[in-house]
A and B are shown apart, each in its own frame.
Chain A
Amino acid sequence: MRESPAIHVEEQFDDLSQQRESSSLGMWVFLATELMFFGGLFLAFAVYRFSYPKAFMEAASHLNLVAGSVNTFVLLTSSFLFSLAISAFRDGRKTRTLLLLGVTLFLGVLFLGIKGFEYYDEWRKGFLPGPAFHFQGPDYLHVQLFFVLYFITTGLHALHLFIGLGVIAVFFFLVARSWVRKDREVAIEIGGLYWHFVDFIWIFVFPLYYLLGGGR
């Protein structure tokens, strides 16, 4: 690793620790706003699940439980690996960091792949709301409502995950170019917080949409 020049502190801060704590607090406040953003979606789901339990249970039983479970496991694993990557970065172990970031990246892409397959399957079966929506059974409208919320929630989650993948890719690239330095720990820690948060949201999306169905 190339020996780094002087540790960089932005001019508005007095020292590195102030900069670290500010960045970390800033990220947490941002995550609180993200939580409220998804909170609106969770609320919509809760209200309609409460109002139309039968239709929602019926609709949920049409989701692919295996794909959903595997995806949850994939995200949990990726989160674990990212936190190992942060430790490796702190210890200045470049190869290990790169390896862990690489696998995390792969798992994220795998998640999107599985999700994409699910979307394709649901579209094929006529569950995509809109003119193509096709469902035989009572309470057609509320079953469609379930799928509207499902596509919006998982879609917005996937968008966040995609952004997270971009962040990891940038870290991967930078670490590969010997970017490992003391004052940059906070950047990768914050990236980690975001990735864990995306996982955190999924931890609740999965049971609400996939597990609370009527079973078959």
Chain B
Amino acid sequence: MSVVFQAVEVDPRDTPENYLSEGGIFSWLFTTDHKRIGLLYLFSIIGFFAMGAVAALMMRLNLLTPRGDLVQAETYNRLFTLHGVLMVWFFLIPSIPSVLGNFMLPILIGARDLAFPKLNLLSWYLFMAGGAVVLYAVLIGGADTGWTFYTPYSSTYANSHVVLMATGVFISGFSSILTGLNFIVTTHQMRAPGVTWFNLRLFVWSNYATSLILVLATPVLAITLFLMALERIWKVGVFNPALGGDPLLFQHLFWFYSHPAVYVMILPGMGVVSELIAAYSQKRVFGYKFVAFASIAIAVLGFLVWGHHMFVSSESVYAGLTFSILSFLVAVPSAIKVFNWTATLRKGNLRLDTPMLYALGFIGLFAAGGMTGLMLAALGLDMHVHDTYFVVAHFHYIMVGGMVLAFMGGLHYWWPKITGRLYPEFIAKIAAVVTFLGFNLTFFPQFILGYLGMPRRYHAYPEQFQVYHVFSTAGATILGVGYLLPLCYLLWSCRYGKPAGPNPWGAKGFEWEIPSPPPKHNFAETPTQTEPPYAYPVR
């Protein structure tokens, strides 16, 4: 079948003035428009994602053979550090909040912009500055500590560019804080008439919960990395036991940030999925208030469980018990969400468009990731699988199977709004299925590997594990195809896609009542919300 590449002729002079109209590089670099800043983030995180993905690919290729023939052990350590740092701080954390949140949040609440547009631009510059420092550190050799920077290895013994790497993360942390602050104030102060708290879209709720975490947890990471770097530079004890410090204090402080940060990497995804499920079932979200409060509950409970990363450190057993029980509690609001999504699907007018495929994939993979999370929260079982591939598979099911699928789903859902063009539906569906299959082939074998005892972060392994690693690497290749396809057809659609019109999906909400792409100030006049969100004809 030959595809005729023909631009759908839309004379630019015919399209009404919108946020993309103004041209020139400076109109982008000095923009304070939340929509343009969202796109700036989109371009940047795709770049970081690509680099992180290349690192992952090299690791997977290396693990094809038991002896690890591709790279040396030292290089392998730097690869997984690079992969972790880039994917966590420069892709996952900003992915949905800073791209889709930035673009959609003001529109969803009927505002002209975020509360502090200049601060918003500053966040992007800080983000890029942090990214630049990290990339510089990578170019001159990188760090080999893992993304967790555990002391005293990082602060005393590591022979790599730990301080630079941590500085990059430190700077990008301020970007997170400012974004979170902006979202919180915007959600409180900028809602249009009729947009009450219980008329808010669930995407806004989840971004609000995410922002709470960003604002309250990130500063603790900042001071922790600062102390670690100071210990390294100044060569005095803060965490180093040889100098009187306690390395567990570092872990407490680090995980006080990093466990909640895990929820930064899933909560916004849950918000997107709530939107998708409602739009493609043409139904009100079942138990709206429960889903909304579950977001807040996850954000708060997420702060009470960090010690489960330290079960096999010398943390006291009693603390371990406490953290284990609290960890089980987080499963409750998460399960509420999954139950409510499935209940929303029931008797819905289902349409299996691309975003919906991603959303359904999300539910399944998130459930699998969540269930294995419960296994890891159990003190006894964790002793067995701690620091094995079981953990790696678990959090990739949440991070990639959850967040990345939700990001792709949200991007497809709002793509017509962002660009004013439709993407090719058929190939997009294929890409969604390929991603799902590739993902499972990559990470499911890792559950087995971990359960059989393969530790994470090793660049070589005994021969009996090889078959699983081969499966995993094969899956990673397929997953790569699943990522490359959207990159191609989404770019293609920017020029050749059919014009979308204001509401291609027949969905409800402020964003579908304004033109695509939206005008510079979103609304000609401040809208009023007259009905609850997702007011689809209830069946």
Direct contact between A and B in the complex (CB less than 8 angstroms)?
yes
| CB within 8 Å for A148 and B215 given contacts A12-B114, A25-B185 | no
Segment 239-262 of B: residues with Cβ below 8 Å from A = 243-246, 249, 252-253
Segment 13-50 of A: residues with Cβ below 8 Å from B = 13-14, 18, 21-22, 25-26, 29-30, 32-34, 36-41, 43-44, 47-48
| CB within 8 Å for A130 and B234 given contacts A12-B117, A36-B220, A141-B244 | yes
| CB within 8 Å for A47 and B184 given contacts A41-B223, A144-B237 | no
Nearest residue in B to A14 (C-beta to C-beta)?
B526
Nearest residue in B to A41 (C-beta to C-beta)?
B223
Cβ–Cβ contact B220 & A22, under 8 A: no
Partner of A33, one of B181, B227, B236, B252: B181
| CB within 8 Å for A148 and B237 given contacts A12-B115, A29-B185 | yes
Say if the beta carbon of B129 comes within 8 Å of chain A: no
Return chain B residues, CB-CB under 8 Å to A109: none
Segment 51-96 of A: residues with Cβ below 8 Å from B = 51-52
* A37-B234 Cα distance, complex, nearest whole Å: 20
* A119-B112 Cα distance, complex, nearest whole Å: 51
Cβ–Cβ contact B244 & A145, under 8 A: yes
Cβ–Cβ contact B230 & A40, under 8 A: no
Cβ–Cβ contact A144 & B244, under 8 A: yes
Cβ–Cβ contact B222 & A37, under 8 A: yes
Say if the beta carbon of A102 comes within 8 Å of chain B: no
Cβ–Cβ contact A37 & B235, under 8 A: no
Say if the beta carbon of B144 comes within 8 Å of chain A: no
Chain A nearest Cβ from B379, distance in angstroms: 23
Cβ–Cβ contact B227 & A26, under 8 A: no
Say if the beta carbon of A129 comes within 8 Å of chain B: yes
Segment 159-210 of B: residues with Cβ below 8 Å from A = 177, 181-182, 184-185, 188-190
Return chain B residues, CB-CB under 8 Å to A196: none
* A130-B230 Cα distance, complex, nearest whole Å: 12
Cβ–Cβ contact B220 & A12, under 8 A: no
Chain B residues within CB distance 8 Å of chain A:
111-117, 177, 181-182, 184-185, 188-190, 215-220, 222-224, 227, 230, 234-238, 243-246, 249, 252-253, 521, 526
Cβ–Cβ contact B236 & A36, under 8 A: no
Say if the beta carbon of A152 comes within 8 Å of chain B: yes
Return chain A residues, CB-CB under 8 Å to B234: 129-130, 148
* A141-B237 Cα distance, complex, nearest whole Å: 8
* A63-B244 Cα distance, complex, nearest whole Å: 20
Partner of B245, one of A30, A41, A145: A145
Return chain A residues, CB-CB under 8 Å to B521: 11
Chain A residues within CB distance 8 Å of chain B:
10-14, 18, 21-22, 25-26, 29-30, 32-34, 36-41, 43-44, 47-48, 51-52, 129-130, 133, 141-142, 144-145, 148-149, 152
Return chain A residues, CB-CB under 8 Å to B117: 10, 12
Cβ–Cβ contact A22 & B190, under 8 A: yes
Cross-chain pairs A/B with CB under 8 angstroms, 11 sampled = A12-B111, A13-B115, A32-B215, A37-B222, A39-B220, A39-B223, A40-B220, A41-B227, A130-B234, A130-B235, A141-B244
Can you name 17 extra interface pairs (CB under 8 A) apart from A11-B521, A52-B244?
A: A12-B114, A22-B188, A22-B189, A25-B188, A32-B215, A32-B216, A33-B177, A33-B216, A37-B220, A37-B222, A40-B219, A41-B223, A44-B238, A129-B236, A141-B244, A145-B245, A148-B237
Nearest residue in A to B243 (C-beta to C-beta)?
A141
Cβ–Cβ contact A145 & B189, under 8 A: no
Return chain A residues, CB-CB under 8 Å to B113: 11-12
Return chain B residues, CB-CB under 8 Å to A144: 236-237, 243-244
Q: Which 4 A-B pairs have the closest CB atoms?
A: A141-B244, A40-B223, A37-B219, A12-B113
* A18-B253 Cα distance, complex, nearest whole Å: 37
Cβ–Cβ contact A30 & B249, under 8 A: no
Return chain A residues, CB-CB under 8 Å to B235: 130
Chain B nearest Cβ from A101, distance in angstroms: 25
* A37-B113 Cα distance, complex, nearest whole Å: 29
Cβ–Cβ contact B237 & A43, under 8 A: no
Chain B nearest Cβ from A134, distance in angstroms: 14
Cβ–Cβ contact B223 & A26, under 8 A: no
Nearest residue in B to A36 (C-beta to C-beta)?
B219
* A39-B521 Cα distance, complex, nearest whole Å: 40
Cβ–Cβ contact A152 & B181, under 8 A: no
Chain A nearest Cβ from B85, distance in angstroms: 20
Return chain A residues, CB-CB under 8 Å to B218: 33
Partner of B244, one of A34, A43, A142: A142
Cβ–Cβ contact B237 & A34, under 8 A: no
Cβ–Cβ contact B249 & A29, under 8 A: no
Chain B nearest Cβ from A21, distance in angstroms: 6
* A10-B115 Cα distance, complex, nearest whole Å: 9
Cβ–Cβ contact B246 & A34, under 8 A: no
Cβ–Cβ contact A40 & B216, under 8 A: no
